Structure 1
Amino acid sequence: MLKVFFTAEDLLKVTVADTPAPLMELVLALMTLQRRDNRYVFGGWRRRTARGLPVQAEPLLQLLSPTGIGPLFLDPPSAGLEDGLSQVLATDRAVVEAELRRICAVDRPRTAWIRQLAAQDRHAWRILEHAITEAHRHILAVEWPRLQVAFHAEAAWRAHFLARHGLERTFTSLSVGLRWREMSLEINAPGTDREVTLRGEGVVLLPSLFWTGRVLVAPQPAGPALIVYPALTPLPLHDADTVGDPLAALLGGTRADTLRALTKPHTTTELARTLNVSVPAASMQARTLRDARLITTHRDGKAVLHWCTPLGVGLIAAPTTEPMNHRGVVAGG
């Protein structure tokens, strides 16, 4: 059992992440690659990803467990690959040593390369840098625009649910095997007996489009702790046609993608880039949704910004009335 103890200050500062974290998503994707659950959803993705995984990326698998255990310095919250990689490479030696000891004490083999990382061997760290870069190129780079659209739809839905149903139901709905008791969140994690006490810095709920396991808690050296949970609709299902997507069946696939994209403000040019269509086509989609009062448009300086209205967010949320994860998530990781 993993228990997370909150202070009153933490509960006053619970938010939903507004952007995906690239290195966090990359690490979780590599963990999911090693899992065997949710094979109907992730089976094809695992086969394709494993088949083309560059040899240079494989050392990362030594550090990352399918149970969700990995060194915390490997996936700092960042705006992009460059920023995140700089943070990884600048990690304090004492932190590196402590984190590598921790993961090896659980289920990671203490390989020669891991020992060299702990000793700050330059060649070993160059291998790590190349591994992250190659894994990102193979797994995330092509998928990133589609992942962002899916992420913002999930985050908007979760924020809507938080406002409507409050903290307790929001926390316990993140996955199966969660229970709120007084000022703590209990996470069913077989084989784990651990307590995490938050420091009043707040909490950010971070959905992952690749993770399939139990809810993960990642305290940060400074700032709010991250609670990472599986998104209701994982990325492979965003490949599906409109048959399984009531929103797309109602609006059409392109308009559904447009509405989901606009859970975050976009200019017309940004929207065209996100949807991979021309600027006039993006403008036409925005006009149709605006006429239906699903988005609003206003001018910010020279830019024209489009954004979902509450009615639009409600329509995105409508296909699922309760945020319970019925995809067979393994709560114990």
Structure 2
Amino acid sequence: MLRVHFTAEDLFNVTFAREPLPLVELGMAVVAWQRRDAQEVFGRWRGHVSRELPGRARPLLDLLRPDGDNLQFVEPFTPTLEEGLAAVRDASGSLTGEQLARTAARAPGSASWLRALWAEDRDAWRQLDGALRSVHDLVIAPHWPRIRQSFHADVAWRTRLLAAHGIKACLASTHPGAGWAGTVFEVPGGPDFECALGGRGLILMPSPFWTGRPLLAEGPGGPDGARLLMYPALTPLPLVDPGRADGALDALLGRTRAAVLQLLVQQRTTSELARDLDISLPSVSEHTRTLRAAGLITTRRDGKAVLHSATGLGVDLLRSGG
């Protein structure tokens, strides 16, 4: 279980990141590519990346494992690719033997490249630079407008949620199982991790690639600064509609998911949603899963039928989104 202890000061010091960051999202993309959850959403995207990703990007698999519990030096908090690559190179002298042992134990490949990297071998660091550039050119750069759309729509929605329902509801919405025990934010699932913020505060950062339990890490201010909580954006990248959104609700959810939520002001079955929206049953399941994970709809089974309906939070979103 993840347990984050808040002081009263911390509860007043929760903010949102201003922008998505290219190398942070690159790291999340490499992680998402290796995961096997949310296949109904990421399956096709993963297949495309597997076919298109060049071989020189493979070294990143040794550094970025699918559980997301990775060394942060390869995911610096920088606004541009070139600044990020410079920050990665600058980290070469600060890597420790303990970090090498931990990374090598988790890596799927040979430890020889990692040992060369830790020994500041120029060829090894050139390989890392080339791998980061390759993944950025294929997975991040062409989709940056959609990544930003998912990020900013999520921040806009949770900012409204924070204003209307408070910080506890806002943080609980980051994961279906999240909740509070007094002033301790709790999310089920392993590995166990416990942290006291101690007045440093918390920065919230949605990622359109991450699919697991929220991740807690050092923020851009280092050990003495605010902690960073990265969580799955409400609309993952494969479900972000290309092109200009027609309104705030479409920007947040995508046109089809917004239409699903609007229909669910009245209870409907999966088959009725597929019929009314002229989409397939698997597509309905994708959209209802995303809406349910965000707490916007509830689902229950009645015999053979699966019934969906909007929650109070979902109705509030519809009202605020026009």
Q: Same fold (TM over 0.5)?
A: yes
Superposition map of 1:1-333 within 5 A: 1-91=1-91, 93-105=93-105, 111-190=111-190, 192-220=191-219, 221=222, 222-239=224-241, 254-256=245-247, 260=251, 323-324=294-295
Deviation at 1:175, TM superposition (A): 0.7
Change in Cα spacing, 1:17 to 1:61, as seen in structure 2 (3 Å) is same
Change in Cα spacing, 1:34 to 1:165, as seen in structure 2 (3 Å) is same
Deviation at 1:197, TM superposition (A): 2.7
Change in Cα spacing, 1:95 to 1:166, as seen in structure 2 (3 Å) is farther
Deviation at 1:16, TM superposition (A): 1.6
Q: Take 2:96 and 2:163, find their aligned partners in 1: how far apart are those partners?
A: 39
The unaligned stretches of length 5 or more in structure 2 are 253-289, 298-322
Look up the SS of the partner of 1:157 in the other structure. Answer: helix
Deviation at 1:97, TM superposition (A): 4.0
Q: Take 2:144 and 2:41, find their aligned partners in 1: how far apart are those partners?
A: 19
Look up the SS of the partner of 1:99 in the other structure. Answer: helix
Change in Cα spacing, 1:259 to 1:167, as seen in structure 2 (3 Å) is same
Q: Take 1:108 and 1:12, find their aligned partners in 2: how far apart are those partners?
A: 42
Instruction: Supply the RMSD in Å over aligned alpha carbons.
Output: 2.8
Deviation at 1:82, TM superposition (A): 1.2
Partner of 2:269: none
Deviation at 1:35, TM superposition (A): 1.1
Partner of 1:304: none
Q: Take 2:97 and 2:108, find their aligned partners in 1: how far apart are those partners?
A: 14
Q: Take 1:167 and 1:136, find their aligned partners in 2: how far apart are those partners?
A: 34
The higher relative CO (CA closer than 8 Å, separation ≥ 6) is in 1
Q: Take 1:325 and 1:66, find their aligned partners in 2: how far apart are those partners?
A: 28
Deviation at 1:208, TM superposition (A): 0.5
- Deviations for 1:45-104, whole angstroms, at most 9, x for unmatched residues? 111111000111111011111111211111121111111111111116344544333444
CA contact (8 A) 1:71 1:100 kept: no
CA contact (8 A) 1:3 1:184 kept: yes
Partner of 1:287: none
TM-score between the two structures when normalised by the length of structure 2: 0.72
Q: Take 1:36 and 1:325, find their aligned partners in 2: how far apart are those partners?
A: 25
Q: Take 1:139 and 1:240, find their aligned partners in 2: how far apart are those partners?
A: 15
Partner of 2:307: none
* Paired residue type of 1:323: A
CA contact (8 A) 1:15 1:205 kept: yes
**Aligned pairs, how many?**
257
Greater mean alpha carbon deviation, residues 192-201 or residues 56-65: 192-201
Q: Take 1:202 and 1:61, find their aligned partners in 2: how far apart are those partners?
A: 32
- Deviations for 1:114-162, whole angstroms, at most 9, x for unmatched residues? 1112222221111111111111011001000122122211111111111
Change in Cα spacing, 1:164 to 1:229, as seen in structure 2 (3 Å) is same
Deviation at 1:9, TM superposition (A): 2.8
Deviation at 1:36, TM superposition (A): 1.2
The unaligned stretches of length 5 or more in structure 1 are 242-252, 262-318, 327-333
TM-score between the two structures when normalised by the length of structure 1: 0.70
- Aligned-residue sequence identity (percent) comes to 41
Change in Cα spacing, 1:231 to 1:160, as seen in structure 2 (3 Å) is same
